[in-house]
Each structure stands twice: as structure tokens, then as C-alpha cells.
Structure 1
Amino acid sequence: MVTDWIGWHRDYDDPGSSLARRLVVVREHLARALAEFPGEVRVISLCAGDGRDVLPVLARYPGPARATLAELNPGLAQRAREAARELDLTGVDVRTGDAGLAGTYLDAAPAHIVTTCGVFGNISEADAARTIAALPALLHPGGVVVWTRGHGGIGPDPSDALRACFDRNGFEEVAFTRPDDARFRVGVHRLNAAPQPVATLAGRRLFSFAR
């Protein structure tokens, strides 16, 4: 069964939903990350949806910012473009394309911030590990990743494996939110290791959605 991603986004309209609560946390972490970088800030958002996690935060950011949003669903990508126009965000480039293919946004790298919200819960563990290992090639030194993962409530928390994978790939954990009464997790990791050459990702597929 193919997920109706536009329908999935309707949960944001319920302020008490896990998705709406997650959105608040993501925006808070993103705002803090933006404040860390002087000068023009560059952001890449993978599987950006309608951009509601990134765009309102950029609209409040006092400095210059450029953002590349990659979203495969044409309807959601168009919503993101419309939102960017309404917010007068002239530095936003919304691309209708597969975020699993690095070439969709590779020319926007290196970025100061990469968001992978709503990604890791929809791909395999192997793809998640491959994606995390590739992130240093998308980032400036000291760049930050804001990511999310859900937990079905049965068995080990998959976010713990992701945190360990970030550690193995030269990242330091900056923040991690795991509510006691919700199944979403939000992590923030900073790249401490030397960035990799952007060219190492040319032509590569990092992940494919399982549904």
C-alpha cells in the first residue's frame, strides 16, 4: 500500500497529535541551530513535505539564509513553494525530486544544517546507516543535522541505534528529545569530524522509501 502523504500531513492540524507536537520540537531545535552560524546560512531539507518545519523558522531568522527543499510528492512541493512565496523567502529553492538520490540537492552542499525529518522511520536500517554516513559530505565543518524517528512502542527504541550510528560517523549529540507520553523522537547532531568531499556522493542513491 502506498502512503497518502498529503493525507498524512492532516495530522498536523490536530494540536494534540504526536505529529503536531513533534513539529514544535523540530522548529525549536532548528531555530537554535540557525542561531549558531554567522553570515549566510545554508539549509538542505530531505523529504521536506510542505516545508512547514523549516519555512516558518527561516521567516523569523534575522540573517540571510538559503534553503534547498527536496520533496518527491508534487502536491506537497507546490504547497512548499506557495508557503515560501507567502513568507517572502526568496532564498528558498523547492525541488520536486527524489531525496534518496543525492544528485537532487548535491549542488546545494555544503550546508550548515541538514534536516532528515520523517525519513528514518520510512527506510531500512541499512539505508539509514548509509544516509548518516553520507551526511558529512553535505555539511560544512561543525554543521548540524536535525532528525526524527518514531517508535512503535514494542521492542528496542530504533532511535538509539541511529544515535549510535551518528556517533560512529563523526557526529556529537547536541540534543535529544524523547517524551514520556509520545512516540516521536527528535535528535540534533553536530559534525565534529572533517567533512567529506561533496563529489563522493555524485550519482549515489542513499535511501528508498519502503512505502
Structure 2
Amino acid sequence: MDWNIWHEKYDVADSWMARRLRCVQSQIRTALDGAPTGPLKVISLCAGDGRDLLYVLSDHPRRHEVRARLVELDARNTAAASETACQAGLDQIEVVTGDASLIDQYQDMTPADLVLVCGVFGNITDSDIEHTIGACNQLCKTGGTVIWTRNRATPDRVPMICDWFGGQDFELQWLSEPGVGYGVGVHRFTGTHQPLRTGTRLFEFVGYDVLRQE
């Protein structure tokens, strides 16, 4: 899978990807609007070209309060994200070309006010989804928000993902309707932030195309 070319589907206005992107952006805006006053930390796993967060920050009133780290393996995507951030004058955005599954990538950025796990759960195994959710208490601050996505293809994993978040002291704030063709969830962390366990790998990125074949 060419993950740079894959992003071109976002530019098709009526595609499910474009509709999901708008949904994620709306939830990011809501999370930023409702976050406590003062500086904010945001981390994005498998950030792609960053358009979900960066397009929101470009005109958000709290744009200069946000320090963010976007981690993405594809250098073409990170180059695009860096260019977008530069053009928008977002000086506190750090774009990292690297393996987003390594928890060490997020050192000095935790606990974060907002954690984006978008485009991840549909590309990893169920056990790795559960493992990643289990580590979100290391990434997210108490009262912070996790926004995640997952396709709703059969078998629909969205209810199970919500259960796993609930088991880790994350309270469901919002969930897209089943019939819209995609899954977007928002969970608020009500538990106690845990120290980052360095050296941990959160998941193995398999790819939805490979998972479907299996």
C-alpha cells in the first residue's frame, strides 16, 4: 500500500474518507474548544500528512497555545505535514518521520491533552488494538481526550473498542452513527495518568489490505 497516494482519496468530496476527515476535524475542534485554558499538548499516531489536526489549527483561536507532535513513517507525508504547518505559521508543531508504534516517540509530550489515534485501528490486529488502548493511560492526561477511528466492516470492532476503552477508565463522549460508513469515537480519560514505559511497542502496523486477505 502506498500511503502517500492513499491520501488523495481525501480530495474526493463525497468519498467516505472525506466525510470521515470532516467528522474527525469537527471532534478535534470540539476537544480544543473544551480544553482547559493555557498551553495544550497534542500527539498524533500515524499522522499521515496531518490534515486532520493542522487544518483545524490553521484558523483555531487557540492555535498558538497548542504544542503538537505528529509521528508518521512515510517521509512524503511528513514533508507535506511540515509544509502545511509552515504555511499556516504553526511554530509549535513538530513533525517526526519515524515509527509511531514506539512509545518512546512521545517522551516529553505526555501526558497530552489530546491524543489522535486515527487510521490505526483498522490496520492492526485485535490484540494490538487492545494493547494500544491499554497504553493510552500513559499518553493521555486525566481529563484529556482520545479521538480514534475504525472502519465498520464486518465483523464490526467498534463496540469492542468502546468496551476496551471503558475498561481502561475512558468515558465515551461521542460516537458516529453505525450507518455513516465509518467509525469515529471520542473518549475522555477519567483515570490516573501512568508514567511512560519506555521501550514499549504499541502495535505492529499490518495494513487493512493484508488483514482483509487474512
TM-score higher than 0.5 = yes
In the alignment, what sits opposite 1:105? 106
Match of 1:88 in 2: 89
Checking the alignment, whether the CA contact within 8 Å between 2:152 and 2:178 is kept in structure 1 is no
2:199 aligns with 203
**What pairs with 1:125-136 in structure 2 (closer than 5 Å)?**
125-136=126-137
Q: Which amino acid aligns with 2:10?
A: Y
Aligned-partner Cα distance in 2 for 1:196–1:105: 13
User: What is the Cα deviation at residue 105 of structure 1?
Assistant: 1.9
Unaligned runs of 5+ in 1: none
CA drift of 1:61 comes to: 2.2
- In structure 1, the partner of 2:161 is 162
1:13 maps to: 11
1:192 is aligned to 190
TM-score of the superposition, structure 2-length normalised?
Answer: 0.93
Letter in 1 for 2:206: A
Count of equivalent residues: 204
**Aligned-residue RMSD, C-alpha:** 1.0
Q: Deviations over 1:31-66 (max 9, x none)?
A: 000112211111000000000000011122212111
Q: Where do 4+ consecutive residues of structure 1 move more than 3 Å?
A: none
In the alignment, the residues of structure 2 paired with residue 97 and residue 112 of structure 1 have an alpha-carbon distance, to the nearest angstrom, of 22
Unaligned stretches of 5+ residues in structure 2:
208-214
Q: Distance in 2 between matches of 1:27 and 1:206?
A: 24
Aligned to 2:38: 39
Deviation at 1:179, TM superposition (A): 4.9
State the TM-score, normalizing by the size of structure 1: 0.94
| Offset at residue 72 of structure 1 (A) | 0.5
Q: Return the offset for 1:78.
A: 0.6
Letter in 1 for 2:11: D
AA aligned opposite 2:147: V
CA contact (8 A) 1:137 1:197 kept: yes
Tell me which residue corresponds to 2:210: none
Secondary structure of the 1:53 match is: helix
Give the share of equivalent positions with the same residue, in percent. Answer: 42
3-state SS, counterpart of residue 12 of structure 1: helix
Q: 1:84 & 1:101 partners in 2: Cα distance?
A: 24
Task: Summarize the alignment of residues 110-149 of structure 1 with structure 2, pairs less than 5 Å apart.
Answer: 110-149=111-150
Whether the 8 Å CA contact 1:106–1:138 is kept in 2: the answer is: no
> For 2:90, what is the secondary structure of its paired residue?
coil
